[in-house]
A = this chain, B = another copy of it.
Amino acid sequence: MKKLRCALIGATGLAGQQFVAALKDHPWFELTGLAASPRSAGKTYRDALRAPNGMLGWFLTEPLPEALANLVVVAGDQLDPTKYDVIFSAVEADVARELEPRYAKTLPVISAASAFRYDDDVPLIIPPVNASHSELIRKQQQQRGWKGFIAPMPNCTTTGLAVTLAPLQAAFGVKAVMMTSLQAVSGAGRSPGVIALDIIDNVIPHISKEEHKVEVETKKILGAVGVPDAVKVSCTCTRVAVLEGHTEAAYVSLGRKASPEDVIRVMQEWKGDPQTRTLPSAPPRWLEVTLDPFRPQPRLDRDVSGGMATSVGRVREDGVLENGIKYVLVSHNTKMGAARGAVLAAELLKVQGFLAESSRA
């Protein structure tokens, strides 16, 4: 099978670098185009990553892939759409608002940006949870007169929560969710990101707009196609001195009484949408449930199954909510919650027939 040719916009930022890592040696996709801000245009990727002080701004522990290091970066709006089959987007929301529709006229755009997440004709897909939401793409194409489309990923904090709610919703119903997050600094990217001076020996009890995103997105993801779910969601999102991996303390009001053992069983047995089971990026299990009361921990559990599994522990009864259950989850915010999650969604969309090789000259 010929691989689909992919281009990445926002290639130099932290999110972009994570896409580069997520697409490395992918069996279905090949990254052949890189775009970034005009400042980077015309430089090789390696040079575009280099800071004025000489530091190579590549922040992953995996080395920078040699094949891409020498690729010349173009400005974000200068990609030739006829050369690619898919666009991945790792730009900020304001840039996304301008660039993504431009490419969506002819190409699928799989995006980590929040710009279009809340539009009625835009699906918010977590493959194991709501694979069927992709049918909104047809509506989007019709309404907007596009051949391509925009498929954004949810906020990374939403992803971890929604993945754990999905099996509970299916088995027991979910009426309300309260969640306090302890989020990793990588979620803020690098520019400006979280300053060390703010987070060493500290907690920051607020992340701008994050709580609203989680509340709105969770309803959209758990709902039927185009119809937000009635679940009530209330959160407090905080930042802690952790590099990667969001920890979330969730309290869930179920539709009917269930014991912690019931919840554990349902989570352990959950297989997600059947279409996702054989996707290249799918982990053996979407949820890893532990009985060790001191787990999950972000440092020890974030990388389980390449950062694609969500770890759940401390499943207990909650004495306040009706049919209340509480638990703690750890989700890898820059893998399942961002670039690798977007690649997983691309895999699903390919299986569903939404991605195809463009006619090539």
Using a CB–CB distance below 8 Å, which chain A residues touch chain B?
Answer: 14, 53-56, 59, 61, 176-178, 180, 182, 185-186, 190-206, 208, 215, 232-234, 236, 238, 240-243, 247, 249, 251, 253, 292-300, 303, 313-314, 318-321, 324, 326, 328
Contacts and interface: CB of A to CB of B under 8 A. Distances in A.
Contacts of A234: 251, 318-321, 324, 326
A55 B56 CA distance: 31
Given A185-B196, A194-B196, A195-B193, A242 B295 contact: no
**Residue in A203, A208, A233, A296 whose Cβ sees the most chain B Cβ within 10 Å:** A203
B185 A182 contact: no
Instruction: Give this chain's copy count.
Output: 4
A327 to B, nearest CB: 9
28 contacts: A14-B197, A53-B293, A54-B292, A176-B320, A180-B236, A180-B249, A182-B203, A185-B196, A185-B200, A193-B195, A193-B196, A194-B197, A196-B241, A199-B200, A200-B242, A203-B242, A204-B294, A204-B297, A205-B247, A205-B294, A205-B295, A205-B328, A206-B293, A206-B314, A234-B318, A234-B319, A234-B320, A236-B251
Nearest to A52: B208
Contacts of A251: 178, 234, 236
Contacts of A328: 205, 236, 238
B61 A299 contact: yes
Contact of A200 (B190, B200, B300): B200
Contacts of A191: 192
A142 B134 CA distance: 73
A238 B247 contact: yes
Given A177-B320, A206-B314, 6 more contacts: A54-B292, A176-B320, A178-B321, A192-B195, A205-B296, A215-B319
Q: Which 3 A-B pairs have the closest CB atoms?
A: A180-B180, A202-B299, A236-B249
Contacts of A292: 54-56
A215 B192 CA distance: 31
A195 B194 CA distance: 6
A54 B320 contact: no
A319 to B, nearest CB: 5
Instruction: Name the residue in A178, A190, A253 with the highest tally of chain B Cβ atoms < 10 Å from its Cβ.
Output: A178
B178 A314 contact: no
Contact of A196 (B199, B236, B295): B199
B201 A201 contact: yes
Contacts of A14: 197
A300 B61 contact: yes
Given A236-B326, A236-B328, A314-B236, A243 B197 contact: yes
Contacts of A53: 208, 293-294
A183 to B, nearest CB: 10
A122 B193 CA distance: 38
A353 to B, nearest CB: 38
Contacts of A195: 190, 192-196
